[in-house]
Amino acid sequence: MNLIIGAFTIGLILSLLSLGMLISFRMIKFTDITVDGSITLGASLSAVLIMAGWSPWLATLLAFLAGSLAGMITGILHTRFKIQEILAGILMMTALYSINLRIMGRSNIPLLDTATVSSGFEKLLIELTGGEAKLLVFGWPVSLADLAVFGSSLILCTLIGILLTRFLRTHFGTVLRATGNNPQMVRAQGVNNNTMVIFSLALSNGLVALSGALLAQYQGFADVQMGIGMMVWGLASIIIGEALIGKTGLGVTITGAILGTILFRLLIAIALRWGLNPNDLKLVTALFVFLALVTPGMFKSMSNKFFGGSRHA
Amino acid sequence: MLLTQEQRGKYLVIAANGRLDATWADYFADTCLDHIRNGHHNLILDAQELSFLSSAGIRSLLRINKEILSVKGSFLIVNSAPFVAKTIEMTGFKQWLSEQLPEEISTQKTNQLHSEVEKTETYVLNPSAMLTLSVVANWQPWQSLTPDKTYKLSFPNSVFALGIGSASDNFDEAKLSFGEFIAVGSHVIFQPPEVKSRPDYLIAEMDYIPEMIVIQALCCQGEMSHLFRFSPEERILSFTISEIIDLVFSTTKSNSVAFVILAEVDGLVGATLIQSPGQKSEKDIMPFPEIREWLSFCGDRLFAGHQALVFGIATRKESDVKHSLLRPLPANPEISGHIHAAVFPFQPLQNGKIDLIKNVQKFLNGPPPEALLHLIDDDRPIVGLGQSSFIRGACWCAPLQNKEGLV
Amino acid sequence: MLKIYAISKTFFPNTVNEVRALQKVSLTIEEGSFTAIIGTNGSGKSTLLNAIAGTFFPDEGKITLDGTEIINWPEYKRASLVGRVFQNPFAGSAAEMTIAENIVMAMRRGQSRPLRQAVTLSVKEVIAERVRLLKMGLEDRLDNPIGTLSGGQRQALTLLMATWLKPKLLLLDEHTAALDPKSAAKVSELTKNIIQQEKLTALMVTHSMQQAVDLSDRIVMMHRGQIVEDYRDEMKKRVRVIDLMETFDRVQKRELFDESVAALLEKQYV
């Protein structure tokens, strides 16, 4: 049970990464590699600030802002200086590697016995259960700390999902979604599509950094290497989400990304449990994404089998 | 509808199999009109397999009949089934129906329309006829124009002429409207020199004889001595203007000739004034690109399938008729000439010996002319458009003699 | 309304591919007029339209629209004054978004984009009402992605979007050229109706001379980056397709009249 709760928690935290990437990769159609750097940025900045005694909430918020700044720079590199989007992302990601080392001062910061964003929730749980350290969930004992992290992640994630959905449905959000679809049309409607790209990348990388901050707090450390391959994981999650419930609407797409991430983490947890060498994990993920990209019909038919095929009618 | 045709002597027998109704009427009429255009002026419709004839079908038969009448041909319907025959009779076209084929029709299929006659039929009109040339050439391009350089020319029946002139009767107006003209037996076609305007024409009527103020003209008086007809055969699909001129020389046995051609066009190459020379005042030489404001060049072989009325003069080197208005033809530099052509929408010409003036009249009574060109032999390497050429038609010609000085 | 003063544009200057797409073109369009621009391929007609729309900046010249100098305005800024329909029926709308979402974007063309829900029920009612006038049955499909529609339907919607807020100037860039004949006729008809009802000032580039004659009240002909003919008022009412063809022919003949022809005529033309 601990394993499942853990997978769900990581899944919920990383779903913020997926949501961020949903904005860049899917909505404005920008292949943004900054992600690998900005998730570490969020983790390292929040870790350093929490260690320095800042409020975990404030640290997490600042991580979000730092990620936004990184995304904004990538956007400016692309739109202002006409650098190809992939190269712009690579430049920013590479720069962030050094920046993250600078922030942390070393390659790894442990976060032991420090307050996190879930601390308040944990206290509440402890008061409610009257001091028990563990709670029975479906007959399995689960530590209150784990439950607290899970619960707060769930609340945060749901909140952000709803906010994002509502935001994307506003006038501004509608134009943002159109930007990736047809920049020409967006210009013809009087909107500077370059500004939209910069804003979207800022929002996207802000969410990614937020995910990184929460991940560091959950894992109890920030590592300069932790971002490697995160982009591919996020992509895999998005693909699974789309295969699972499709992309017929905005709410569906966002829910799909969240559920996809959770399922992906569960699959990984199961695979690791069955003896998959953790070092092979990224290879397997890359293969998975490769297959998903070259066989577009595969997942669609898979989801049709799951849901009786009526969804796409 | 299935149409099969068979040449039998001068007749073309067309067997129609199917229904001549609204669906097929246009196809049927167009096919037959095409035959008429190609010189088959005696059509017989074999209606044995014709199962139905509607009013639309009757209308197409009327179109064909009208075209055949205009070239004095004949149109018969044979072997018609009772229903078809009754329809034709009741609509009042009984004269088309025939019990049997005409007696003089050859019993066997023949290969060609005129197998028994020569490809170019020649008719002698008046062996002693001659044309007398007088020249008006007071103006040379691109001199400035003054009233003393103009000349008033009138066009009675016996005059054939070409040149640059205006139909206005005073110099002040005329100087704005000098353009190419062609005159054949009191029928004058002229091109007002404006880019947008169509050719205009003057026709002698009652006491009226057309007159023009001209600044350049080659004017021939007299009558034509010969007429020859030309039409394509197996290997020759069209006749270039210099081939026709060669035929004119050999027909008239003269070193200087004038000729009128009425023929279906294969392609015309030429130039036209688009601004009256009277409007110019300064320089005598017109450099490129200013020349483009004055002359328009066809740029392509034009007017295929139209009918052209051509008047020209050609002389061999040995001839004593010489003038700066006659320029060497690139196709044969031994020959000099000057040729204008007026272009009309297509109308079929009758076969055989036909009258020049009557046919010119017929054209001017029909749809208006579309263009008037000074024909040019474009011998530029690679991009050259070549000479004007014609598919089939008639050429009237006569020897030419000099008359000194002005008319 | 629209005043263009001597704008020029040369693409790939000083290379073998140099194209002098616009050569000191000046044009004044009066308020409420519907002008058609015709011309051969590469005549500069679309380039002129793009110069007005702001797709690129001309090398020289000035453009004022409704009294405002707009030559330095970027494309998106000009959209506040200009409505556009493109040749490609897919260029004017966002394929993956719904009909309603596409239209709701056009309802605030050139205006601020507030953080309020865009497609509300009341907005949808307003949209359905206008879409119903297209008589294409699209009012029942407002939540379908616009990419599922045919080219003609999308172009009709793009036209509706471009004119939802009355533009100072409507630019139509061969907007029926990529449609099948039936859809093209329908969109043409729609164009005429909308422009008449809303009393719009419009500039239309077209390949179809028939369309130019039928729809517009002024026809400007371009060739090699220059305006070679301008039929307006009484002249336009008189002009028929065949006249336009002849003018084209004349312009092209002039083009073919080069130095070698001049030499030829010097030898042979008397």
DSSP string, B125-190: S-TT--EEEEEE----TT----GGG-EEEE--TTEEEEEEEES-SSHHHHTT--EEEEEETTEEEE
- What residues of C are in contact with residue B298 (Cβ under 8 Å)? 253
Q: What pLDDT score does B112 carry?
A: 60
The answer for C10, left when phi > 0, alpha when psi is -120 to 50, beta otherwise, is beta
What is the distance between the alpha carbons of residues A71 and A78, in angstroms, rounded to a whole number? 11
Residue C218, both tokens:
């002024």
CB proximity A163 to C under 8 Å: no
Q: What pLDDT score does B282 carry?
A: 64
Nearest-CB residue to A171 (from C53, C92, C114) = C114
pLDDT at position A134 over 80:
no
Angle between helices A35-51 and A230-245 (to 10 degrees): 110
- Cβ-in-10-Å burial (0-12, 13-18, 19+) of B104 comes to exposed
Residue pair A27/A177 in contact (Cβ under 8 Å)? The answer is: yes
CB proximity C95 to B under 8 Å: no
What is the distance between the alpha carbons of residues B351 and C16, in angstroms, rounded to a whole number? 58
- What residues of C are in contact with residue A181 (Cβ under 8 Å)? 94-97
pLDDT digits (tens, 9 = 90+) for C36-67: 999 988 889 999 999 999 999 999 999 999 99
List of residues 6+ apart from A274 with CB closer than 8 A: none
Residue A55, both tokens:
């409020």
- Which phi and psi (to 5°) does residue B273 adopt? -70, 135
CB proximity C101 to A under 8 Å: yes
Q: How many CB pairs under 8 A join A and C?
A: 91
Lowest mean pLDDT among A24-33, B192-201, B236-245, C121-130: B192-201
Q: What pLDDT score does B193 carry?
A: 85
- What residues of C are in contact with residue A193 (Cβ under 8 Å)? 76
> Which amino acid makes up residue B366?
G
CB proximity C252 to B under 8 Å: yes
pLDDT digits (tens, 9 = 90+) for B175-204: 889 999 999 988 999 998 876 778 999 998
pLDDT at position A302 over 60:
no
- The DSSP element (H or E) to which B196 belongs, if any, is none
CB proximity A313 to C under 8 Å: no
Nearest-CB residue to B288 (from C243, C247, C262) = C262
Domains identified in chain C and CATH numbers: 2-268 (3.40.50.300)
CB-hemisphere CA count at 13 Å for B325? 24
Put simply, the answer to whether B295 touches C254 (Cβ < 8 Å) is: no
Lowest mean pLDDT among B29-33, B179-183, C152-156, C233-237: C233-237
Q: What pLDDT score does B104 carry?
A: 76
- What residues of B are in contact with residue C261 (Cβ under 8 Å)? 297, 380
CATH 1.10.10.10 fits B122-402, yes or no: no
Strand B50-53 relative to strand B11-20: parallel, antiparallel, unpaired? parallel
Average pLDDT over residues C202-222: 93
Domain boundaries, chain B: 2-98, 122-402
Measured CA distances, C41 to A235, B183, C225 (Å)? 45, 41, 11
* Angle CA C19–C22–C26, to nearest 5: 170
Put simply, the answer to whether A191 touches C91 (Cβ < 8 Å) is: no
What is the distance between the alpha carbons of residues A249 and A266, in angstroms, rounded to a whole number? 25
Q: What pLDDT score does B99 carry?
A: 78
Q: Predicted confidence band at A277 (pLDDT cuts at 50, 70, 90)?
A: confident
C-contacting residues in B 295-314 (Cβ below 8 Å): 295-300
pLDDT above 70: percentage of residues in chain A: 93
Q: What pLDDT score does A97 carry?
A: 95
CB proximity C166 to B under 8 Å: no
Put simply, the answer to whether A178 touches C113 (Cβ < 8 Å) is: no
Put simply, the answer to whether C91 touches A185 (Cβ < 8 Å) is: yes
Q: What pLDDT score does B338 carry?
A: 95
The list of chain B residues with pLDDT below 50 reads 115-118, 406-407
For the CA atoms of C64, C69, C75, C78, what is the dihedral angle to 10 degrees? -70
B-contacting residues in C 18-77 (Cβ below 8 Å): none
CATH 1.20.1530.20 fits B2-98, yes or no: no
CB proximity B325 to C under 8 Å: yes
Distance from CA of C139 to the nearest CA of B (A): 41
pLDDT at position A118 over 90:
no
Q: What pLDDT score does B198 carry?
A: 84
DSSP at C141: G
CB proximity A79 to C under 8 Å: no
pLDDT digits (tens, 9 = 90+) for A187-233: 999 999 999 999 999 999 999 999 999 999 999 999 999 999 899 98
- What residues of A are in contact with residue C110 (Cβ under 8 Å)? 189-190
pLDDT digits (tens, 9 = 90+) for A71-112: 999 999 999 999 999 999 999 999 999 999 999 999 899 987
A173: nearest CA in chain C? Answer: C115
Length of chain C: 270
- What residues of C are in contact with residue A185 (Cβ under 8 Å)? 91-94
What is the distance between the alpha carbons of residues B20 and B24, in angstroms, rounded to a whole number? 6
CB proximity A175 to C under 8 Å: yes
What is the distance between the alpha carbons of residues A268 and A229, in angstroms, rounded to a whole number? 14
For the CA atoms of A195, A196, A198, A203, what is the dihedral angle to 10 degrees? 140
Residue C24, both tokens:
């000191």
**Which chains neighbour A (Cβ–Cβ under 8 Å, 3 or more pairs)?**
C
Higher-pLDDT residue of B120 and C212 is: C212
- What residues of A are in contact with residue C117 (Cβ under 8 Å)? 166, 169-170
What is the distance between the alpha carbons of residues B97 and B74, in angstroms, rounded to a whole number? 12
Average pLDDT over residues C85-102: 93
> Residue written as tokens 């320089």?
B283
Q: What is the ipTM of this complex?
A: 0.88
Q: What pLDDT score does A313 carry?
A: 33
The alpha carbon of C55 is separated from its chain's Cα centroid by a whole number of angstroms, namely 13
Instruction: Give me the helices (H) in chain A, please.
Output: 2-21, 35-51, 56-79, 85-104, 119-129, 144-168, 171-181, 183-188, 193-219, 230-245, 250-273, 281-294, 296-307
> Residue written as tokens 């009918």?
B307
What is the distance between the alpha carbons of residues B30 and B34, in angstroms, rounded to a whole number? 6
The answer for A253, left when phi > 0, alpha when psi is -120 to 50, beta otherwise, is alpha
Measured CA distances, C140 to A125, B125, C129, C149 (Å)? 50, 83, 11, 13
> Residue written as tokens 């190459």?
B269
Q: Quick one: how many helices (H) and strands (E) in chain B?
A: 6, 24
Put simply, the answer to whether B297 touches C253 (Cβ < 8 Å) is: yes
DSSP lists the bridge partners of residue C9 as C22
> Residue written as tokens 């000191």?
C24
CB proximity C267 to A under 8 Å: no
Neighbours of C135 (CB within 10 A): 11
**Three-state DSSP class for A191?**
coil
Instruction: Give me the helices (H) in B53-153, please.
Output: 55-70, 82-90
**Three-state DSSP class for C19?**
strand
